[in-house]
Amino acid sequence: MILSHKYKYIFIKSFKTASTSLEIALSKYCGKEDVITPIINEDEKIRKINGFNGPQNFGDTNIFHEHMSALEIKSNVSKEIWDNYFKFVVVRNPFDQIMSAFHWHNKSKEKEKKLIFFKKRKKNFEDFFKIKAHHIFEDEYNRYTENDNMLVDQFIKYENLKKDLVQLSQKLNFPENIYETFNNIHAKSNIRPGNSMIEVNNEINDKIKVLAKKIIKLHNY
């Protein structure tokens, strides 16, 4: 999550949408008074290697934290800031997002366990889906809404990142195209292995359509 007074924007960080890479890229242009929340150590290393600004001004008691919802942020900033700053979030096709979440969930398994895991990955995905899918889709929708009212000014689509980030750069008057910086950052890029597609049955596809119906309708997925 980033709150930039320098460029007058609030970046709401979503889940499994390349938001960490974008967050790192955005921190390049942050001013000394801007809020940058901490991310995991391996991603902070990427930020440091690139010479970008690290965590700052997030509060001694972590008032601001990484995956704050728009409503949480609204509750912790002044009305003037909330009403006047440009608010945006990245969204992603829920069918692909849940698959990415599945691989992220299992990222910490040891190599030996991974070999066994991926041989049985279809069954494991189905188990993961039953436990996690509802919460993931609900949390994502609630991240940028309040009682079905939108709390952000722009949705950046994961599927249209280049186009949307070029437009964002122009909107916020960045000194350069943020997509060029973003495109050279690959946070968490090793999480999802090659040949990682998993065929899911029609029942799961139908359940995704139900569980993520508000997201699908809102973003035309």
pLDDT recorded at residue 189: 57
| Tokens found for residue 6 | 């320098």
Alpha helices, H only, 106-212: 111-119, 121-143, 161-172, 178-182, 202-211
Alpha-carbon span 112 to 96, nearest angstrom: 26
Whether residue 215 contacts residue 221, with contact meaning beta carbons closer than 8 Å, is answered with: yes
Q: How many CA atoms lie within 13 A of 64 on its CB side?
A: 24
| Tokens found for residue 116 | 């066994």
- Residues found in the chain: 221
pLDDT recorded at residue 115: 46
| Tokens found for residue 85 | 């700053």
Q: Are strands 145-146 and 149-150 parallel, antiparallel or unpaired?
A: antiparallel
| Tokens found for residue 41 | 């150590």
φ, ψ of residue 44 in degrees (nearest 5): -65, -35
Class of the CATH domain delimited by 2-219: alpha beta
pLDDT recorded at residue 138: 97
Alpha-carbon span 98 to 202, nearest angstrom: 15
* CA nearest neighbour of 181 among 52, 5, 45, 16: 52
List per-residue pLDDT tens for the chain, 221 residues long.
Answer: 999 999 999 999 999 999 999 999 999 999 999 999 999 999 999 999 999 999 999 987 778 999 999 999 999 999 999 999 999 999 999 999 998 888 887 765 544 454 444 445 555 888 889 889 999 999 999 999 999 999 999 999 999 999 999 999 999 999 999 999 999 987 655 544 444 555 667 888 999 999 999 999 999 99
pTM recorded for the entire structure: 0.88
pLDDT recorded at residue 186: 74
* CA nearest neighbour of 205 among 96, 123, 103: 96
What is the CA angle 66-150-28, rounded to 5? 35
Alpha-carbon span 10 to 24, nearest angstrom: 14
59-65 contacts, C-beta under 8 A, 24 or more apart: 64/1, 64/3, 64/35, 64/37, 65/1, 65/37, 65/38
